[in-house]
Amino acid sequence: MSAHIAAPPQVPLPEDRTALLGRLVEGLDAGALWWLSGYAAALATRAAASPIPAERHAAATATPERLTVLYGSQTGNAKRVAERLAAEATAGGLAVRLVRADTYPLRELAAERALVVVISTQGDGDPPDDARAFVEHVTGKRAPKLDTLRYAVLGLGDSSYPHFNAIGRRLDERLAELGGKRLAERGEADVDVDTVAKPWAATTLERARDALAARTSGAAVIPLRATAAVTPTIALPSRDQPFAAAVLANQRITARDGTRDIRHLELSLEGSGLHYEPGDALGVWPRNDATLVDTILATLKLDGEAAVTHAGTSHALRDWLVSHREVTRLARPFIAAHAERGGHADLAAILDPANRNAFARLLDTHQVVDLLRAWPATWDATTLVAALRAQTPRLYSIASSRKLVGDEAHLTVARVAWEAFGLDHAGAASGYLAATGDDAHVRVFVEENPRFRLPADPERDLIMIGPGTGVAPFRGFLQERAAVGARGRHWLLFGNPRFRSDFLYQLEWQEALREGRLQRLDLAFSRDQAEKIYVQHRMREHGRELFAWLDGGAHLYVCGDATRMARDVHAALVDIVAEHGGRDRDDASAWLDTLQREGRYARDVY
């Protein structure tokens, strides 16, 4: 018996050039590699336009048009979808460049012929940090006419928020106003992203291929020549194939008699092949509380052992609810379906846009079980599984450096728990992680965050603003900088309710101060005095020094709550730059925008 072994792909480069290429791409992430492929395609296009020998003319009569796939991503979902879409486009024979919005040369927009935008919406209808400049450019007065552009927009969001997919809608409508023609209707993906994203991508790519082929006088679109690559024999763990990480430690780091339960967890990554850099996040797939699932089953009078098949997958109903469905967060589509099944006009009325405040209160106060008990309705197992959202992973900033802890990842997790309607409630992931024991395993993956990286220059100073669990990445930052012998200064601003019960990692920060690894620590404990004091107040108190650090080249990092803290911190920064930098507010905002574009002002907010 013999086996056919395929010949290795031929590389059209001499050996010395191949070696140079290998050194060039070493260490580049997926986004950089896709960009490089697009750059190479542009060079190939120009080369093809130059005089060519007659014997080669037939093979190069058509030059490929390029599809640009641009993404803006806060938590990694838009990046993941864009990378997959670009890979599918390349496999289908399109010349593609994949580019993150903040690295896109805005001057090139006027010359684009085919553009796909994948972008998320944050908070109150805001763009992700890496897409702010792009959105402002497209929606502003300097946006060019785009009469020759074919485009498509896929928005990612959460329909439970009032400004669902607001940024995707704004961009889609604005590109049309500027003269662009849609390749496909706007896609609006909810938390269960792939339900919308996969069919939308298939349609969009088919139309993009047709449009690009038409631009080359009907000739077939020429695929990029792929360089040889080594395929690993074992795929690294990913979002869809997570690693079962053993729990090494689970320690409460707030006072036992305090009002907040915040945990420090240490997870083993040994044998996973996973790598992370300070600033990255660990994705955690939670399991819903068994008692909560039993209450849902009892309320609906359903058999947890009943087999349910959905989208080609079969599990017992209990397993669906424990591991595969979201039951701690309500979603607009499920509320609408439940109101219809039960004939609850009052519940349906809450979904009216005019009742935005009532809808927000419902989301804040009720979980799925509360809805089922307050507005009874009949569900069968199959329909229930189809109506509930798919479970999604939660992302936690990694609170460690591999240079210090090796094959481990540390997390700082605030357990969310409360009592309501006669039942105990908890957040899905925080409750799950807080309850893990020494023999437990947690399904995890690494979510890269290239926008929240330490500066390459170890001499640079750092200003780190991280109230509450937002301090987590800065523990990793300090560990990393100590391990590499960085000589830059470090300034941490930390806040929480009370000094005695909520000073997270207190001994570590104090030790770092004594050893000179941390040069400055400013604290804001909001409930320790009559007047509430937050980190933004400390920033204003020390505004002159803070501006001097920034003006001297320091990198500024903010991590934590996006809805209030990040906004208040940014407003304080604008005031500080205006007052101590001798600028008006518009110029101060522009100066901070420049810092963001340069990578010197980075935010990891959620």
CATH code for the domain in which residue 281 is found: 2.40.30.10
**Is 163 inside a domain boundary?**
yes
Q: What angle do CA 134, 565, 473 make, to 5 degrees?
A: 80
Are 187 and 134 within one domain?
yes
pLDDT in tens, 94-152: 999 999 999 999 999 999 999 999 999 987 788 999 999 999 999 999 999 999 999 99
Q: What is the pLDDT of residue 14?
A: 46
Residue 277 phi/psi, 5-degree rounding, is -115, 155
User: pTM of this prediction?
Assistant: 0.82
Does residue 532 lie in a domain region? yes
Q: Domain containing 300: what range?
A: 290-387
Q: Is 253 exposed, middle or buried (0-12, 13-18, 19+ CB in 10 A)?
A: middle
Dihedral angle at the C-alpha atoms of 134, 135, 137, 140, nearest 10 degrees? 180
Q: How many CB atoms are located within 10 Å of the residue 177 CB?
A: 12
Query: Residue 55 falls within a domain, yes or no?
Result: no
Shared domain for 200 and 146, answered yes or no, is yes
Do residues 341 and 196 both lie within one domain?
no
Distance CA 512, CA 516 (A): 6
Please report the pLDDT score of residue 11 as a whole number.
Answer: 43
- In DSSP terms, which residues pair with 309 in a beta bridge? 314
22 and 96 assigned to the same domain:
yes
- Answer yes or no: do 273 and 295 share one domain: no
Q: Please indicate, yes or no, whether residues 105 and 207 belong to a single structural domain of this protein.
A: yes
| Helices and strands per DSSP (H, E), number in the chain | 22, 21
Q: How high is the pLDDT of residue 508?
A: 98
Task: Give pLDDT, residue 231.
Answer: 38
Distance CA 479, CA 376 (A): 53
Task: Please tell me the predicted confidence (pLDDT) of residue 26.
Answer: 52
**Cβ-contact 190, 196 below 8 angstroms:** yes
Same domain, 397 and 489: no
- 380 and 398 part of one domain: no
Residue 32: its pLDDT value, please? Answer: 52
CA distance linking residue 218 with residue 211, whole number of Å: 9
pLDDT of residue 236: 85
In the chain, how long is the greatest CA-to-CA distance? 85
Q: Is there a domain that residue 111 lies in?
A: yes
Say yes or no: 281 and 294 in one domain: no
CATH number, domain at 575? 3.40.50.80
- Number of structural domains (the chain) is 4
Does residue 297 share a domain with residue 278? no
For residue 147, the model assigns a pLDDT of 96
DSSP secondary structure code for residue 185 in this structure? P
| Confidence at residue 34, expressed as pLDDT on a 0 to 100 scale | 52
DSSP secondary structure of 234-267:
SPPP-SSS-EEEEEEEEEE-S-TTSS-EEEEEEE
| Number of Cβ atoms within 10 Å of the Cβ of 4 | 4
What Rg value do the Cα atoms of the chain yield, rounded? 26
Span 533-567, pLDDT tens digits: 999 999 999 999 999 999 999 999 999 998 899 99
Residue ranges in the chain whose pLDDT is less than 50 = 1-16, 18-20, 23, 35, 39, 41-64, 218-233
- pLDDT value, residue 353: 87
Task: Note whether 331 and 468 are same-domain residues.
Answer: no
Q: Are residues 505 and 601 in the same domain?
A: yes
Taking all residues of the chain, what is their mean pLDDT, rounded to a whole number?
A: 88
